Amino acid sequence: MASLPSPVAAAAAGITTPYSSSFATVSSWPLLSKKCSIKSAKQTHRYGVRCNAADSDDQKPIIESLNSLDRRNVLLGLGGIAGAVNLTSIPSVGAAPLVAPDISKCGTNPLSGFKAGADTPEGSDCCPPDSSQIMDFQFPKEEVFRVRPAAHLLSPSYIAKFNLAIKRMKELPADDPRNFLQQAHIHCAYCNGAYTQSSSGFPDVEIQIHNSWLFFPFHRWYLYFYERILGSLIDDPTFGLPFWNWDTPAGMKIPSYFNESSSALFDSKRNQDNLTAVVDLGYNGQPSTLSDLDKVTNNLAIMYKQVVTNATDPLLFFGGEYRAGTEPIRGGGSVEQSPHTPVHRWVGDPRELNGEDLGNFYSAGRDTLFYCHHSNVDRMWSLWKTLGGKHKDLTDSDWLNTSFVFYDENKNLVRVYVKDCLLTSRLGYDYQRVDVPWLNSRPVPRSRKSGIARRSMGRVKRTTDINFPVKLNKTVRVLVPRPKTSRSQTEKENEQEVLVVQGIEYDSQQYVKFDVYVNDEDDDNTSPAQTEYAGSFAQLPHTHKGKTKSKTNFRAGLTELLEDLEADDDDTILVTLIPRSGCGDITIDGINIVYV
């Protein structure tokens, strides 16, 4: 069949493509199966989705050539008229966007801060080959569209194609920037202090692409070039990088073909107890005693909490501001905290001193599963933008004009900008349509708890009576005053109420995680499936310029949570922080409530 014209070309020609006229409306969410009904909840930004059995075509696995599929039935479809906007025309009016690093000044041995004996011979120097020639990114002109398929639905022939592409990448010369290990070094260099902000005028300040608003755009660009390299190595421009669909029950296990030792997709450094287990999106660093059913229930609730409840504002979803001359101390976005980070550690091998491969930032790119994991993380960005309301990309010029450099499929060093990756349709790819069950998995309160904070007075201190910083080597409970109560629906739509745990200082060489609950008195029977669960702070091990301590913040949405607990009129809430992993040396500077 003739290839489907890109949304940009179709819009320019006045052609109506699927979803092009209603891509931003919830009623036409193309990632959902065809037979879905949507019921509006109390909040205008909240939706309940009920889906019947999908058409038989939606359940078919991806077959040998994606060109044989009618792409109109599998594309996410966020393009349309918006795809014709020239994002490169956005003026650079920001004061301090981060500038792409000068890779010739890449620091050596950025992993020296890790424990002695770490198995890091290949990763002790993350620096890529240098190039004096830098090209500016140009949008692809080809009409071929790539569809990223769900990893658990791949056919044997597609698995073979994926395996061949990775095999050829591993066989490239060691100094080829497209080589498998060289590609893994990209992640290592950008997140372990190998690059500094020298191009921005701050040679003593490192670049870190986690824990800030750079998390999503950096990884989108990273996968974009990785995918194109794989496709070029097998001479298939339609090749789409599979996404590990851990947000739906059928995809919550590592696909079995990743565990075949003879495959190029295999990695020996994975948690052997989890190879055939249901993933734990709230992984605490220790084996779970929950049943598979309870894990699935918790996973779906976590997805709803992190993509819906805790992501009602762009900065809550993407992460805090990160500008030239600064460090990313304002905190990561909701999806980055969880499920992204716990999945990393859940796959990483506890037999390895530093949790390699996927369980540590410097080694994560050595596991092929990393790229499928992040393909699904990238998919969350596309899904989140379909939720309406404030679910829109940031407009801050410092974010839009931040730049990175990557090697492309032709070994060219390419400079890219955040503003050019906002629409996957313009980059020539999209995601297979699958069901999104967590949209109908709103957590349920254990009980209605209006006035619980008032009843806790005398037994629990208020924030004003605590001498911060405090250690989190045990459960911390505190009463937090609310600046505003009994807000109208209009006020809630204009401003989201947000809980902030400030100045979290932690050991960056450890997997660190603690859970946050609101108005919950039973610390021994907690669950992410209950409304009282506000979210989790989670950090994967990393180093930065030899330092072993990092500092950041945690934020969680309160507006919907307090409505569900019928505590919207309370002037104080009870906040409980429960340490889960690596919290012995954590200190916290404060806990308060803000409005965004």
What SS3 class is residue 447? coil
At residue 442, does pLDDT exceed 90? yes
Instruction: Please report the domains of the chain, with CATH numbers, ordered by start residue.
Output: 103-440 (1.10.1280.10), 452-595 (2.60.120)
Q: What is the pTM of this model?
A: 0.85
Catalytically annotated residues: 187, 210, 219, 340, 344, 361, 374
Beta carbons of 151 and 372 less than 8 angstroms apart:
yes
- Ligand-binding site membership of 187 (annotated): yes
Distance CA 468, CA 70 (A): 59
Q: What is the mean pLDDT of residues 464-483?
A: 96
At residue 156, does pLDDT exceed 70? yes
Give kind and range of the element (H or E) at residue 403.
strand 403-407
Distance CA 213, CA 422 (A): 13
Average pLDDT, the chain: 83
pLDDT for 446:
79
Q: Scanning the structure block, which residue is given the tokens 């006045």?
A: 14
Beta carbons of 415 and 98 less than 8 angstroms apart:
no
3-state secondary structure 147-208: EECEHHHECHHHHHHHHHHHHHHHHCCCCCCCCHHHHHHHHHHHHCCCCEEHHHCEEEEECC
At residue 13, does pLDDT exceed 60? no
At residue 38, does pLDDT exceed 60? no
pLDDT tier at 73 (50, 70, 90 boundaries)? very low
Longest Cα pair distance anywhere in the chain, in angstroms?
73
Q: Scanning the structure block, which residue is given the tokens 């902000």?
A: 197
The two beta strands, 429-431 and 590-595, are unpaired
- Ligand-binding site membership of 391 (annotated): no
- Signed CA dihedral, 216, 346, 434, 142: sign only: positive
DSSP category for residue 279: P
At residue 68, does pLDDT exceed 70? no
A 10 A CB-CB count for 54 gives 16
At residue 449, does pLDDT exceed 80? no
| Cis peptide preceding 339, ω within 30 of 0 | yes
At residue 339, does pLDDT exceed 70? yes
pLDDT for 423:
97
pLDDT tier at 415 (50, 70, 90 boundaries)? very high
Distance CA 361, CA 523 (A): 31
| Cis peptide preceding 217, ω within 30 of 0 | no
Distance CA 305, CA 307 (A): 6
Between 381 and 457, the more confident residue is 381
CA angle 526, 532, 534 (to 5 degrees): 100
Phi/psi for 318 (5° steps) reads -80, -35
Beta bridge partners, 406, equal 414
Q: What is the mean pLDDT of residues 173-202?
A: 94
pLDDT per position as a tens digit, 203-247: 999 999 999 999 999 999 999 999 999 999 999 999 999 999 999
pLDDT for 121:
44
Q: What is the mean pLDDT of residues 573-589?
A: 96
First to last CA, the chain: 49
- Signed CA dihedral, 232, 237, 238, 244: sign only: positive
- Ligand-binding site membership of 374 (annotated): yes
Of 270-284, 417-431, 448-462, 514-528, the range with the lowest mean pLDDT is 448-462
Distance CA 526, CA 307 (A): 21
Between 53 and 594, the more confident residue is 594
Q: What is the mean pLDDT of residues 121-128?
A: 65
At residue 448, does pLDDT exceed 80? no
At residue 110, does pLDDT exceed 80? no
Sequence-distant (6+) residues with CB within 8 A of 399 are 94, 97, 213, 214, 217, 318, 321, 418
Q: Which tokens in the block code for residue 529?
A: 């499936």
A 10 A CB-CB count for 457 gives 12
The two beta strands, 202-206 and 476-481, are unpaired
Q: Which tokens in the block code for residue 208?
A: 């870190």
Of 94-98, 308-312, 336-340, 477-481, the range with the lowest mean pLDDT is 94-98
Q: Which tokens in the block code for residue 557?
A: 């949405």
pLDDT for 351:
95
